Structure 1
Amino acid sequence: MYCDFNAELKIGAIMTWNGFLFGAKELPLWVFPIRAIILYAFLILATRLMRQRQIAILAGHNYLVAAGIVSLAAVRMVNPESSLVSGIVIILIYAAVNVLLSYLDVKFPRKVGRHSTILIENGRLIKKNLLDARITIDNLLGQLRIKNIFNFSEIDTAIVEPTGKINVIKKPQFLPITRKQMNLPFKNTGIPVILIYDGEIQNDSLQTIGQDFSWLDKKLKEKGVIKVNDVFLAAYESDGTVYISV
């Protein structure tokens, strides 16, 4: 009897393990969160392999891969009869194919991916390009309203990008007045340089702006900060000021 009981336990464990990997009509509830975690981890891995291009969805095949992978993973998270192993394999194959197509798109952009199309040039609508891009006048007007453009007469050039986004260049008379036109001094628009992050001084950043610890310590004391460890973030901003957050 004891041997039979042990044999039944082993058979049950094997069946549960096989069901976990390859699917079964019924699975214990604890299997579903584990399968979901594993599939999610492989989705993250696939996204890492596909890099930033997949996140931006710059081409049609990127969009198809994103939609396909998500739907595939969702089915295997909730359907007990679906195979976890096949799901992982398909996710990795999707990622590999997408990486290959993205590489080919870089090498041969006109062959694999879509390209930018001019919809309006010199203020004139190009009907052929609108038809080629499958964009109706209502579609175009909607995109223009998002950019706070309500009149065709304001537009010099409009281009639809491979992502489907429409970029617009206005005619000179409809452009906003610039600081140069108003003879105002230019503003420095450089990005902030992180000097301290979570209590740790970024020495490379200090060298980048040509300063040292004495200068940074002086700036901290001007803000009433004594210890560097008390600073969560200190950044050298484009106008020369030092932003400090404790």
Structure 2
Amino acid sequence: MSFQRSSVLITGGSKGIGLSIAKVFSRETDHPLVLIARNRDELEEAKEICLEDGATEVHTISVDITDKNAVSNIPFTDYDPGIIINNAGSFLFKKLKDTSVEEFDRQFQINAFGAFNITKSILPELEKKERGLIVNICSMGSLEGLKDSGAYSMSKHALLGYTRSLRKELMNSKIAVSAINLGQTYSTSWQDVDIAQEKLIDPEDVGKLIISLSQLSIRSVVEEITLMPQGGKVAPM
């Protein structure tokens, strides 16, 4: 199947930034969608939203992406993914001195290992295709330390390091690997934080950007790109 007709797999696709990305793909492309998240009910709601927005086909997979055995049992070949968007993540707004060992480990598991786990499971099939695209949703916290969310920053540093290494590993293949270093983007993660949400990045802009990446010729790749709020960092971050 051609790259243009292959499916778009989005982790964390049931809500937040992931759902916003899925909605943009639904409206602006004919790619089938594969949404991955843990909550089955939220996935079904997201599926209906995407179909209403114009998606031609939507599949859902309820799984914990940090569970390597569960992920390895997913029949990814049935879904024909050509675009992998590792979006699933967790944001912990807590100083390192107050962060428990369990919270620190969980940030790494969700924000870094999950992307590795999904990609490792899909890569053998992706390598057989005429081309492929892997997009890892990183963060400005991948590029600098964050005094009020150090565990999150650690995990996003790890994700960016993984992305850069994977890019070099696949440089002579037909698979493009891109990192999007996101500034503050509106999502459910910000609901409990006292911040001016209207100043944050519109999450649908992330979807529009990824569509643009997917439309480049096979001769080009955007290795890393930074997307920021127009007014810069939003207080109190």
TM-score interval w.r.t. the shorter chain? under 0.3
How does the TM-score come out when normalised to structure 2? 0.20
More helix by share: 1
TM-score norm. by structure 1 comes to 0.20
Structure (1 or 2) with the larger CA radius of gyration: 1
